[in-house]
Amino acid sequence: MTQFNFLSFFVAVLLAGQVANTLPTTGEHPTQTLPAGTPQVFGLATNWTTPVNSSLGVNRVARPNDGLAVSAVDVETLKYYGRLASVSRCSFSTGKFECSTFCSKYPGTTLIKFFNTPNTNTTGYIARNDANKAVYVAFRGSTNINNWVHDAEFLFTKYSPARGAKVHSGFYKTWQDARNIVYPIVVKEMGRNPDYKLYMLGHSLGGALTVLQALDFYQNAGYDSSKMAVYTFGQPRIGNPAFSDYVDSLDLPIYRTINQNDVVPHMGPEAIGYKHHGTEYWIENSQGDVVECSTDEDSTCANSEVPFTSIPAHLQYWDIKFSTLC
């Protein structure tokens, strides 16, 4: 069974290679359309390159954003947690926090648990760094994002902690499966180390699980913004506007980073009722500059790239390759 099977409850509704004018749009209100023949899903290009390929006869309009420039120090912080998120793709075969990518950048980190859930085959790790007074939980995203983008179905389920809130049924079921392993271990570690902070990390589909996890710890373990922080990279939309409003009302430190024209953050289409939560940190160019956007769905940040989106942009943020297993 592959790790991708943790999405087995999604029904295949789209076919790879479908082209322009055959699918519903995301609802993001782009001012331009894709040329006929462009491979796409939900009105989003799956492999658009930047700069625009002039042979397609499209002059993509660059739109200035109204976000605040993020300092170099804060960008490095995003990279720090992005690299920690990326090593969730490693097997930790030695039983220690050792791998062939970024593990050596985090000396003193102890692997507590590498997990693989029984029902949804979701993988990730729990680790601790005593010098940093930190407990880390990271979820790995899908190992085949191309298949997921083309085959995903976005069904809602009720999210009972918030009135009127609904979330993606697959993400919710997957977190419930992972919770049986993750929750008791984390609560035990945090109980042993009451002055430590919990950092929850995830890329892609793993980012969606990370947010649901953080809400669970807030609701049931009593962890507030002083006890935890969330960093997601290329996270899809999770729920409806009522869910988004609920997450925003908690004022939890959730840092939602999107790379340029990454297609996945536009999945969970607005057209069928999905809405992002929290502050968007948008990597606006190939130089890796970041802006802090002004709203949950800022039309001048990542949404300004619609419909000229790309799967490759999802797989590498700065120097961090989320496509590499180690």
Catalytic residue of the set 204, 244, 299, 304: 204
Q: Is the pLDDT of residue 221 over 70?
A: yes
Give whichever of 13-27, 146-160, 285-299 has the largest mean pLDDT: 285-299
Catalytic residue of the set 151, 216, 262, 298: 262
Residue 114 lies in a domain: yes
β partners of residue 281: 257, 292
Q: How confident is the model at residue 25 (pLDDT cuts 50, 70, 90)?
A: low
Buried b (16+ CB within 10 A) or exposed e, 184-202: eebeebbeeeeebbbbbbb
Residue 306 lies in a domain: yes
Residue 9 lies in a domain: yes
Q: Is the pLDDT of residue 287 over 50?
A: yes
Residue-range definition of the domain harbouring residue 216: 3-321
How many domains does the chain divide into? 1
Told to judge if 314 belongs to the known catalytic residues of this protein, a careful annotator would answer yes
Residue 326 lies in a domain: no
Q: Check whether the bond before 312 is cis (ω within 30° of 0).
A: no
Q: Is the pLDDT of residue 149 over 90?
A: no
Q: What is the pLDDT of residues 104-114, one digit of tens each?
A: 999 999 999 99
Mean pLDDT of 182-204: 98
Q: What is the pLDDT of residues 13-22, one digit of tens each?
A: 232 233 333 3
β partners of residue 124: 115, 139
Q: What is the pLDDT of residues 309-324, one digit of tens each?
A: 999 999 999 999 998 7
Q: How confident is the model at residue 191 (pLDDT cuts 50, 70, 90)?
A: very high
Q: What is the pLDDT of residues 129-142, one digit of tens each?
A: 999 999 999 999 87
Q: Any idea what the CATH number is for the domain that residue 305 is in?
A: 3.40.50.1820
Told to judge if 204 belongs to the known catalytic residues of this protein, a careful annotator would answer yes
Q: How confident is the model at residue 165 (pLDDT cuts 50, 70, 90)?
A: very high
